[in-house]
Structure 1
Amino acid sequence: MKKLLLLTILQLNLFLIEGQTLLPAGSTWKYNDSGLDLGSSWKDPSYNDNSWASGLAELGYGDGDEQTVVSYGPNSNNKYITTYFRKVFYISNPSQYQEILGSIRRDDGAIVYVNGTEVFRTNMPGGAITYQTAAASTVAFTSEDTYYNFAFSPGLLISGNNVIAVEIHQDEGSSSDISFNLSLNGSQNPQVIQVTREPYLNTGTSHSMIVRWQTDIPCDSKVRYGTNPNNLNLSASVFPYTTEHAVQITGLLPKTRYYYSIGTTSHELIPSGNNQYFKTSPIEGSREKYRFWAIGDAGMSDGNQRAVRDGYLIYNENRHVDGWIMLGDNAYGSGISDGTQSCYQTAVFSQMYADLISKTVCWPALGNHDYNNHIPFSPAPAYFDIFNLPTNGEAGGVASGTEKYYSYNYGNIHFIVLDSYDEDRSVTAPMASWLVSDLQQTTAEWIVAYWHHPPYTKGSHDSDNPMFLDGECEDMRENILPILEQYGVDLVLNGHSHSYERSYLVDSHYGTSGTLTQQMLKDDGSGGRLDDCPYEKETLYSKAHQGTVYAVVGCSGKLSSVASGWPHPVCSYADHDNMGSLSLTIQENRLDAQFVSTTGSVLDQFSIIKNAGISHHLTACQNELVNLKPSFPGKVLWQPNQVLADSLSVLVTHTTMYLASDTNGCIVDTFYVELVNTPACNGTAGITDLTVASPKVWTNAWLDEQYIPIQWSGFNGNELDIEIWSVQGQLIYSKTVPNDSNKLLLVEAAKFLSGTYLLRASDLENTLFLKFLH
């Protein structure tokens, strides 16, 4: 591109290409230089281009060496951005060729299509392209005369007439010239292709998956897949030749394991196997058992990193991992060249995580070393070229428009990934605004957020320090944590400090370590590490400010010294002597996390259980078999049966009561099973169930009052009469409520003294009684 009169150097371009000439340079092309938006159909073989002009290549304007001069429009200062070209060429037998080799001269950018499929893009931005999309950069000097090579599969061709279509884009409307010429040759020599980066998985959803890999030379991409490793009966292909392969597979079934191979449209490069598969996500909202692995600051490419990996593999015992969480500083280098392709190749690929990488979806966050610490003149982070992450809400959540921060869903969990280093961390910045929108949108039972810089740390970094490489900690604590806690985030994971630090269940601690108060500790126990009770949260009425656990897992590749004041007073457990990683398991309303050492032993663990400890009132007919299931998953101790099981089936012969408690007696469910003789016993109605969260109450965050929540199901009437009586027979509370979709009544706890009460609920057809403690 020349904007000024330049003294140019004449250059003789000899472009030699092997094979049979299919379309020589200097051919006649049809072209459209109207400056109009032609949409997307112009590149299709069936498009009618009879009205287009035609001329010999080279086509263009502004250089003086064109065989055919095209128009740039009426305004030399606002030239048309896009000019379109089409050509029909004949091939009798495409199958005789191993590949089709092309060469294009373009000024400034170009996209090439064969029979409607894109095969090459040069000096153009990624994503969707319109007629007003400018080229990625200016082309000047000798680059204006350069030919750029590309290739594509002969499988895109048919025997007979084929159509090649090209769009040439200016970098701006004031640009002085454009140029276009192109040739095609057919090569009969097969290529020897080597896989230089093993397959790995990105952006998995319940219906799609992205499979990526790398080769040493450009070729097309094909994934063959199926539910049986010996019968890969399905496939997905991408035809533009590349060394960085990314194939998105769509139309998949939820919660399904697919085995796959990778290769080209003509050759399989890595075959399938029992250990090479991907598993699609469950339907959003599904409450099953899910397992995730979190590593932070792992990318050292050394024995320490491998030891952490091996410790987790011992602990995990080959169980499937639903998601792989990277907490930033994923690929270190020499200290002045971090986060490059070569750093990632040794720190993440090249068999570093061979037992996980080809079957576990990776969801990374960025750290300061992934940005090479913003050292001047550093190349762009390789992170953005290596990973395909959801920017448009395609994996759940609100579209962020950037791979720096994004969200995704898995079952009943919503994950949020933030950029704590390169993005503006203020409350009015785009990231915080997106975060609020994303949190407002989600209805997930669990919310987990992660980024690199921890809000609470006294490890190799100090969250009290507002200076270089630590000020991000303060910003995230002061500006981002209030948003997360307002919308009920349950767990926050970070790296950066090369240690393990894990908090109590805390809320509203936004200052330095010295400002922590007892009121900010929602639960100052261990959360289950010392045979202690798990952290409990009541979120049925409000998720806001019910408490969050914060964990720093920056010890997955190295350990470092600690700061003054270690450990941070918010910590329930801290360890700077052991490297490790975090295993996260979520099942229904229970979250369990374990800090796993290099030997596979668990050094710390904690649990969060939501909305548990319920009193149930069930009615049953004589000799009816009733299944009792507690309000939280896992094995519980049943009384009076003295049975340890996750559920209990009882044959009802009389009215009785059962208790179900966790093994430490922290959470107790009460089941009052009443023997009745109602129309339900004759098959005319279903069993009704009435529950009350007792003896717990929760706090209304707005009115600062406490309530007893009463919930019900199975009643048919339009209204329900609710009465609460003391054991002495005194009516304490009475109200008629609509039997609407809410099925929830909040009764002010201040009306009741401590003691035992009887709750009566009736819709005239059915009447239930429930004893509860307050």
Structure 2
Amino acid sequence: MKKYMLLLFLLIIGQVFSVYLNDISRDGVTVSWFTEEPSTSYLIVYDGSNESIHSDEEVTLHRFRVSGLLPGMSYAYTVKSEKDGEVIYKGNGILTTAPNRNTPFSFAAYGDSRNNYVVHSEIVHGIASENVPLVIHTGDIVSTDDAIEEWIDFFEVTEVLSDSVLYSVIGNHESEAINYLKFFAFPGNERYYSLWYGDIFFIFLNTNEAFDKYSQQYVWLLTQLEEAEEEDPAHIVVCLHHPPYSYGSHGDHLYLKEYLVPVFENYNVDLVLSGHDHGYQRIERNGVTYVITAGGGAPLYDITRGESLVASAKAFHYMLFNYTLEGLYGYSKTPEGLILDSFYIPKHN
């Protein structure tokens, strides 16, 4: 029922979501956009083949999976939607496939944008200035999943990131994530999933559903980490919404510390990115770097001092990461470009 209410609402207001990219791989990517009324659509990627992907089905959410591309290459593309022979939407951009191993790259992360349109816009413009191919959101994209106006604002604000591929975790404000799962196209079951991007193995967890030792998510996590070990990643990065450790208002998450922290330590996870406790924190525990990046627009919280709290800031910010073949450099930056904190994580031996 909520799905059809969403479609009706968007039809009434005449909204169009610009093109956005999800589910990147070394040879492909998923391209999506939303039109105000059901229409046919096509996409062409200028890869030298002059072939287009076409759909005669009249839909409002247009989604194509592009494959057969080369790793680490940028391609221009065009999308178009037609209704009764008339073009009702046309867009274009650049998509870049995931790189091969042994390739340096950069990515950005931020979280808890929620319904602060102005600050969120400043954050994504800062990220856009970094020209990163990959952007990660640590959850609480909107204040509630069925707040359609906020989803509209989100896609409007992030239009400046349309040449970057976007990944996210589900925050507590996304709750059942009905619209979240409709709009985004992620791999696996889409609630939790993994991604190889160059030398780095990313895991995206859902801390809104069971992750104890008897849960499907926990078993899946162990399997993913064991399989990744065989591929010898330079770094393992885990993304989730709730932080195991925090010196902000929400504090530590007991069950994360009980069930997931031992896994992170046993499988040599380098970096854990989370949101939830609004502001910036970097915590070092038993060889794992925990970064809370929750400065995307939601009201900021006070942060107390702590023994393992290396750096913190009550500030709106985003994270920039530069992977070199030697290691991973991290920077916490304000929208204006001020560096709040920087750190380095050496590559796995």
TM-score (norm 2): 0.89
Confirm or deny that 1:482 pairs with 2:257: no
The verdict on how the C-alpha distance between 1:267 and 1:607 changes in structure 2, with shifts beyond 3 A counting, is farther
Residue identity matched to 2:329: D
Q: Distance in 1 between matches of 2:274 and 2:308?
A: 15
Name the structure, 1 or 2, with higher relative contact order (CA <8 Å, separation 6+): 2
Pairing of 1:568-717 with structure 2 (within 5 A): 568-576=306-314, 578-610=315-347
2:291 aligned to 547, 551, 557, which one?
551
Q: CA deviation at 1:232?
A: 8.4
Pairing of 1:372-391 with structure 2 (within 5 A): 381-391=178-188
Contact 1:424–1:431 (CA<8 Å) still a contact in 2? Answer: yes
The verdict on how the C-alpha distance between 1:370 and 1:238 changes in structure 2, with shifts beyond 3 A counting, is same
Q: CA deviation at 1:584?
A: 1.2
Q: C-alpha deviations, 1:559-604, integer Å up to 9, x for none?
A: 43336xx13322110111x210101111213100000112111110
Contact 1:500–1:551 (CA<8 Å) still a contact in 2? Answer: yes
Q: Distance in 2 between matches of 1:223 and 1:554?
A: 35
The verdict on how the C-alpha distance between 1:271 and 1:558 changes in structure 2, with shifts beyond 3 A counting, is closer
Q: Which position in structure 2 is the counterpart of 1:345?
A: 152
Q: Which position in structure 2 is the counterpart of 1:445?
A: 234
Confirm or deny that 1:454 pairs with 2:243: yes
Confirm or deny that 1:410 pairs with 2:214: no
The verdict on how the C-alpha distance between 1:207 and 1:267 changes in structure 2, with shifts beyond 3 A counting, is farther
Q: CA deviation at 1:611?
A: 6.1
Q: Distance in 1 between matches of 2:22 and 2:33?
A: 11
Residue identity matched to 1:233: N
The verdict on how the C-alpha distance between 1:289 and 1:242 changes in structure 2, with shifts beyond 3 A counting, is same
Q: Distance in 2 between matches of 1:502 and 1:313?
A: 23
Q: Which position in structure 1 is the counterpart of 2:119?
A: 304
Confirm or deny that 1:255 pairs with 2:72: yes
The gaps in structure 1 that reach 5 residues or longer are 1-122, 124-193, 375-379, 392-401, 464-472, 508-546, 613-774
Find the structure with the greater CA-based Rg: 1
Secondary structure of the residue that 1:281 maps to in structure 2?
coil
1:323 aligned to 98, 118, 134, which one?
134
Confirm or deny that 1:430 pairs with 2:216: yes
Give 4+ residue runs of structure 1 displaced > 6 Å after superposition: none
Q: CA deviation at 1:488?
A: 1.0
Q: Which position in structure 2 is the counterpart of 1:278?
A: 95
Residue identity matched to 2:251: D
TM-score (norm 1): 0.41
2:302 aligned to 559, 562, 565, which one?
562
Q: CA deviation at 1:214?
A: 0.5
Q: CA deviation at 1:425?
A: 2.2
Q: Distance in 2 between matches of 1:496 and 1:290?
A: 27
Q: CA deviation at 1:432?
A: 0.6
Across the two proteins, how many residue pairs are aligned to each other? Answer: 331
The verdict on how the C-alpha distance between 1:344 and 1:567 changes in structure 2, with shifts beyond 3 A counting, is farther
2:159 aligned to 354, 359, 369, which one?
354
The verdict on how the C-alpha distance between 1:432 and 1:560 changes in structure 2, with shifts beyond 3 A counting, is same
Q: C-alpha deviations, 1:444-468, integer Å up to 9, x for none?
A: 22110010000111213111xxxxx
Contact 1:312–1:597 (CA<8 Å) still a contact in 2? Answer: no
Q: Distance in 1 between matches of 2:296 and 2:123?
A: 6
Secondary structure of the residue that 1:368 maps to in structure 2?
coil
Residue identity matched to 2:271: L
Q: C-alpha deviations, 1:726-769, integer Å up to 9, x for none?
A: xxxxxxxxxxxxxxxxxxxxxxxxxxxxxxxxxxxxxxxxxxxx
Over the aligned positions, Cα root-mean-square deviation in angstroms equals 2.1
Q: Distance in 2 between matches of 1:339 and 1:456?
A: 29
Q: Distance in 2 between matches of 1:582 and 1:475?
A: 26
Q: Distance in 2 between matches of 1:495 and 1:424?
A: 18
Q: CA deviation at 1:267?
A: 6.2
Q: Distance in 2 between matches of 1:267 and 1:292?
A: 38
The gaps in structure 2 that reach 5 residues or longer are 2-13
Contact 1:222–1:263 (CA<8 Å) still a contact in 2? Answer: yes
Q: CA deviation at 1:313?
A: 4.0
Q: CA deviation at 1:361?
A: 0.8
Q: CA deviation at 1:289?
A: 1.4
Give the number of the structure whose residues are more often helix, by fraction.
2
Q: Distance in 2 between matches of 1:610 and 1:478?
A: 27
Q: CA deviation at 1:342?
A: 2.8
The verdict on how the C-alpha distance between 1:195 and 1:261 changes in structure 2, with shifts beyond 3 A counting, is farther
Q: Which position in structure 1 is the counterpart of 2:37?
A: 217
Secondary structure of the residue that 1:224 maps to in structure 2?
strand
Q: Distance in 2 between matches of 1:610 and 1:600?
A: 26
Secondary structure of the residue that 2:17 maps to in structure 1?
strand
Q: CA deviation at 1:340?
A: 3.5
Contact 1:452–1:496 (CA<8 Å) still a contact in 2? Answer: yes
Q: C-alpha deviations, 1:85-110, integer Å up to 9, x for none?
A: xxxxxxxxxxxxxxxxxxxxxxxxxx
Identity level (%): 27
